[in-house]
Structure 1
Amino acid sequence: MEVKLNTNPNNKKQKYDKTLIIIPLLLVAIASVFFLVYPEKSASVLNNVSNYFVSKTGWLFMSFPPVMLLISMYWAFSKRGNIRMGGDNAKAPISMWTYIIILFSAGMGAGSVVFSMVEWAYYYSAPPFGMEAFSLAAAEMSTAYNMFHWGISIATLNMLLAIPFCYCYYIRKHNTLRLGDMCGIMIGEDKKYSKVLVKVINLIFIIAVLGSLSTTLGLGIPYISRSLSIVFGFPESSLINIAVILFIAVLFSFSSYLGISKGLQKLSEINVYWGFIFLAIILFGGSTIFILDNMANAIGLMLQNYIRMSFNLDPVFGGGFAQDWTIFFICYAWGFVAMTSVVIVKLSYGRTFREMILGNIFGVAAGLFVLMGINGSNALSLQLEGKFDVAGILASEGIQSAIVGILGQTVMGTVVGVIAFAIMLVLFIATTMDGASLTLASATIDKIDVKEEPSPVMRLVWCVILSVIPLTLTAVGAGLSTLQSLVNLIGWPIMIIGIFMLIKTFKWAKEDGY
């Protein structure tokens, strides 16, 4: 169903805050130059700062997802859950299915696709809870932890900003999608420090979105380049990486120019249907019964150990599992929360808060369970049956080689499997970048109506800026540890700002009689 969300009824000229474009662009340029000139030093500084930060605030990050889940369920099943965004007679322009697949495609990024193949192997070789490495117990828990890291708790974090954004935008009718402006409204615009705080928070919001994209791009681009070198015999080089980035940039720029209904929606649908075909081939062309059994078993283990996983900081034995992985994924999600919140607002017209909350949490999580369950369980079966040493290749040669090896064991074979997986990555990256350009363009507009979209020109400006990030990461050869460190640092300001906004939103709802 095609919907027209990109209307501008009055054909009015949109007013942008140029400082919210110029300052982030300068910061990206400065950081890019520093990383290019001092790649090892910059990575070392970033890692040291991140490690210190995580050691001091890990307890807060770990405890927040289950708390947010309880708050979200309370809001959804209270009378507030019946509030319809846009008014009692508003009708949602897109189906719930389309709603979920756009959020899934734009909000997860290439990181979810890459980790779906190999994340379990990290936990198999260095398991939590003091388990023996490479044991059957570690293998069993590995997929469960994979689903935990990408499941309900992480999807719940979107609600920290989505609930305040939707309430402020639709119920209080403040036509702005700037995080700082919303905070200013909640604080009181007459306060002396309000204007300065608004500017700072708006910049934090934009930087957080830019930073969160670095991980999904840093994981996806190298694999696509490696795929081309394998299939066509190209030597791996910076030129191949640049060519891949430019191709993706053209794709998501074209989609962005078309708008939500003709661009992002269509691209998301293609993305999901391609993913279903790919996963169906993996499922029915591999150890089908083992994959299905392991998926069901992993979901059960995850639910059984949910509380323990949520608070597993391991202070006595000091294994560092949560610090290396769980906190990383929570921070990764925080970065995407900033971007996804705007997409949720623009798509949620005509939906109740209950539909918005349950669709985002359980709909998106269900998609992730399928992605992680099929890809991860298939690779695990290869490991346990001795067909391919995924964990060994991952440790010695890296993520890209491990994924290529896994795909070579499928019925598709190396060439077809590698190409099919690369296409899925391209589609995920393009939809994520398209959603990010919508978010960033919306975040720089002074006012934006319910059925209005940012101008195509401004979205294209952000598309160009977004393309600079993967070019820099590719040039400096940023590894997973560097990406993890960057993500760990961008999450905390979004969480703190979101907590304030959520508390204020509850007060507003009480004042409004909900």
Structure 2
Amino acid sequence: MLKRIEKGIMIPSILIVLGISFGIIINPETSKRIITQTQEIITNQYGYIYIWYGIFAFVFVIGISFSKYGRVRLGSKEEGPEFKTFSWAAMLFCAGIGASVIYWGVIEWAYYYIALPYGGKIESFQAAELAATYGIFHWGPVAWSIYAVSSASIGYLYHVRKVPVLRISEACRPILKEKVDGILGKGIDVLFILGLLGGAGTSLGLGTPLATEGIARIFNIEITIFLEIAVLLIITLLFAVSAYSGLKKGIKILSNINIILTIFLLLFVFVVGDTIFMINMGTSSIGVLIDKFPIMMTWLDPVGKSGFPQDWTVFYWAWWVAYAPFMGMFIARISKGRTVKNMLLGSITFGSIGCAVFFIILGNYGLNLQLSGSYNVIDSLSNFGGAVTIINILETMPVSKVIILLVTIVSIVFMATTFDSASYVMAVTVHKKQVENYEPDRWIRVFWALTLGVVPISFILLESELSILQTASIVAALPVTLIGVLTAWAYIKMVNEDR
């Protein structure tokens, strides 16, 4: 059983995760200060690296899609797509955004509304339009391009060259050559696992409080540490079972169910809310986004020094970068039979539109409450925080208990689909040579699923801040930008060599 495991990747990953987690837990204040200061240095002094990487990713994905490199089919010409388009889109969307899109989709506009970029007047109509637009930008084409960059080289290696391993380091082999077999290659894969664990912590840190608050409100019970742990255990059990079931029986089915529930939720809010306001503001937001897209992509505010692009755009790009190797591997794995163009454009199209719908419907529902005076979202955020405010917003809807229950279920399943996808990819990474369409050993899939759940549970039990682990993953994302560039270069090099 252990003979099939790449111990040089798995053991260091486990030891480093345990070491970092133990250090944070026993000395949280010092850890928080060091990691936060490092993050501030990176975002303030080197934020331009993330901004330029976002530009590179967007240009690369669009450029490759409409060139000869986009016509490459991932598999033989006789093979059709392994997954139907609905299931394929559902899996990549659920893996890529988790419950975070529900959390930020409802309230992200509020932070922009009172801290407007470009020196504009806060709480003005211009502020409302920009606030409704910036979330769509941060979760839009650039974000999904960052996710998709590595998928071309990984997909080509796995489905065309039939390389019997599926790792981010392997995607760098055309450039790094035999160095991939040494400590450098192992380091790349370990860095990938660490970034994924930290990124998963970010999603859990947002999704768990929301699900916990929803359960407490539905059953009118007090939020305790035991309730938080119970919610995490439910999520862990759900994605452990799904991971055990595999790609086609677990992840695919869970993703399909979640997308159907999500569509119902969005349609309900769209109908019971101010539908015309949502349509009008959504239309205006698309226009503002098209108008200001180049500025949003490049703005770092070196003169005004508001900190807005560092706190938001740079942070988001770093978050996407930390998750990008995982998403590149996952997108590549499920895209057999598709062309590279179909894979890349499908990823940014389905991903961007899916996220935009959340912000246009859920976000504008909350924004309309604020503008109409029906509910003061800004004050609620200041006094009660994000999770409570979101549930309070949902309580303004008809049959609110049912909607809160639905949001709670969707949040839990979103987290489960993200983490079962993550545990699957981590299991693939630590496996040695594989055969096509193989499934990694069940025990290793379940092991990583439990690891993803145990780490945040340990933080909660020992009353340590999970946000420290989240910040650490953002810090670790900086060198991943170089890996993304290497994989992009590798794809072009491989296609040119083979054709």
Give TM-score scaled by structure 2 length: 0.96
The question of 1:140 aligning with 2:140 is answered: no
The question of 1:465 aligning with 2:451 is answered: yes
Q: Residue 109 of structure 1 corresponds to which residue in structure 2? A: 98
Contact 1:252 1:430 in 2 (8 A): yes
Contact 1:54 1:488 in 2 (8 A): no
Aligned ranges 1:1-40 → 2 under 5 Å: 15-40=4-29
Q: Residue 507 of structure 1 corresponds to which residue in structure 2? A: 493
Aligned ranges 1:145-156 → 2 under 5 Å: 145-156=134-145
Match of 2:238 among 251, 263, 279: 251
Matched residue type, 1:222: P
Shift of the alpha carbon at 1:483? Answer: 6.3
Go from structure 1 to structure 2 and tell me whether the alpha carbon gap of 1:354 and 1:182 turns closer, same or farther (over 3 Å shift). closer
Q: Residue 6 of structure 1 corresponds to which residue in structure 2? A: none
Q: Residue 493 of structure 1 corresponds to which residue in structure 2? A: 479
Match of 1:88 among 40, 65, 77: 77
Secondary structure of 2:348's partner? helix
Go from structure 1 to structure 2 and tell me whether the alpha carbon gap of 1:14 and 1:135 turns closer, same or farther (over 3 Å shift). farther
Between 95-104 and 28-37, report the one with greater CA deviation: 28-37
1:316-369 CA distances to partner (integer Å, 9 max, x unpaired)? 000010100111111111122121122112211111111101110111111111
Contact 1:39 1:476 in 2 (8 A): no
Between 287-296 and 377-386, report the one with greater CA deviation: 287-296
Matched residue type, 1:430: A
Secondary structure of 2:116's partner? coil
Go from structure 1 to structure 2 and tell me whether the alpha carbon gap of 1:232 and 1:490 turns closer, same or farther (over 3 Å shift). same
1:161-215 CA distances to partner (integer Å, 9 max, x unpaired)? 11111122223322211222343454221x5x85111111111111111111111
Contact 1:327 1:488 in 2 (8 A): no
1:120-141 CA distances to partner (integer Å, 9 max, x unpaired)? 1000011111112222211110
Match of 1:64 among 53, 75, 86: 53
Contact 1:212 1:490 in 2 (8 A): no
Aligned ranges 1:137-176 → 2 under 5 Å: 137-176=126-165
Shift of the alpha carbon at 1:412? Answer: 2.7
1:62-84 CA distances to partner (integer Å, 9 max, x unpaired)? 12223322221221111221211
Shift of the alpha carbon at 1:284? Answer: 0.3
Q: Residue 275 of structure 2 corresponds to which residue in structure 1? A: 288
Contact 2:205 2:467 in 1 (8 A): no
Aligned ranges 1:38-49 → 2 under 5 Å: 38-49=27-38
Between the aligned partners of 1:179 and 1:159, the Cα distance in structure 2 is 13
Contact 1:275 1:424 in 2 (8 A): yes
Shift of the alpha carbon at 1:482? Answer: 4.3
Q: Residue 378 of structure 1 corresponds to which residue in structure 2? A: 365
Between 337-346 and 320-329, report the one with greater CA deviation: 337-346
Between 174-183 and 53-62, report the one with greater CA deviation: 174-183
Shift of the alpha carbon at 1:490? Answer: 2.6
Go from structure 1 to structure 2 and tell me whether the alpha carbon gap of 1:419 and 1:483 turns closer, same or farther (over 3 Å shift). farther
Secondary structure of 1:375's partner? helix
Contact 1:47 1:485 in 2 (8 A): yes
Matched residue type, 2:330: V
Go from structure 1 to structure 2 and tell me whether the alpha carbon gap of 1:73 and 1:252 turns closer, same or farther (over 3 Å shift). same
The question of 1:321 aligning with 2:308 is answered: yes
Contact 1:328 1:484 in 2 (8 A): no
Match of 2:383 among 373, 383, 396: 396
Between the aligned partners of 2:162 and 2:471, the Cα distance in structure 1 is 38
Matched residue type, 1:271: N
Contact 2:174 2:494 in 1 (8 A): no
Contact 2:211 2:411 in 1 (8 A): yes
The question of 1:439 aligning with 2:428 is answered: no
Contact 2:167 2:429 in 1 (8 A): yes
Secondary structure of 1:179's partner? coil
Structure 1: gaps (5+ residues)? 1-11
Q: Residue 119 of structure 2 corresponds to which residue in structure 1? A: 130
Secondary structure of 2:163's partner? coil
Between the aligned partners of 1:236 and 1:501, the Cα distance in structure 2 is 45
Shift of the alpha carbon at 1:54? Answer: 1.1
Q: Residue 346 of structure 1 corresponds to which residue in structure 2? A: 333
Shift of the alpha carbon at 1:470? Answer: 2.1
Match of 2:414 among 401, 407, 428: 428
Contact 1:282 1:375 in 2 (8 A): yes
Q: Residue 9 of structure 1 corresponds to which residue in structure 2? A: none
Between the aligned partners of 1:459 and 1:268, the Cα distance in structure 2 is 17
Match of 2:203 among 205, 216, 220: 216
Secondary structure of 2:478's partner? helix
Matched residue type, 1:54: T
Between the aligned partners of 1:493 and 1:438, the Cα distance in structure 2 is 24
Between the aligned partners of 1:477 and 1:288, the Cα distance in structure 2 is 43
Match of 2:217 among 221, 224, 230: 230
Go from structure 1 to structure 2 and tell me whether the alpha carbon gap of 1:300 and 1:483 turns closer, same or farther (over 3 Å shift). farther
Q: Residue 4 of structure 1 corresponds to which residue in structure 2? A: none
Contact 1:180 1:202 in 2 (8 A): yes
Between the aligned partners of 1:440 and 1:213, the Cα distance in structure 2 is 12
Between the aligned partners of 2:467 and 2:82, the Cα distance in structure 1 is 42
Shift of the alpha carbon at 1:474? Answer: 3.0
Matched residue type, 1:417: I
Between the aligned partners of 2:322 and 2:344, the Cα distance in structure 1 is 19
The question of 1:50 aligning with 2:39 is answered: yes
Between 20-29 and 137-146, report the one with greater CA deviation: 20-29
Between 350-359 and 441-450, report the one with greater CA deviation: 441-450
Between the aligned partners of 2:316 and 2:463, the Cα distance in structure 1 is 21
Aligned ranges 1:476-491 → 2 under 5 Å: 482=468, 485-491=471-477
Between the aligned partners of 1:388 and 1:475, the Cα distance in structure 2 is 35
Contact 1:181 1:202 in 2 (8 A): no
Q: Residue 5 of structure 1 corresponds to which residue in structure 2? A: none
Structure 2: gaps (5+ residues)? none
Shift of the alpha carbon at 1:508? Answer: 2.1
Between the aligned partners of 1:124 and 1:483, the Cα distance in structure 2 is 28
Q: Residue 311 of structure 1 corresponds to which residue in structure 2? A: 298
Between the aligned partners of 1:391 and 1:241, the Cα distance in structure 2 is 26
Between the aligned partners of 2:289 and 2:104, the Cα distance in structure 1 is 17
Q: Residue 3 of structure 1 corresponds to which residue in structure 2? A: none
Between the aligned partners of 1:390 and 1:480, the Cα distance in structure 2 is 25
Between the aligned partners of 2:331 and 2:17, the Cα distance in structure 1 is 26
Shift of the alpha carbon at 1:419? Answer: 1.6
Between 20-29 and 491-500, report the one with greater CA deviation: 20-29
Between the aligned partners of 1:137 and 1:480, the Cα distance in structure 2 is 35
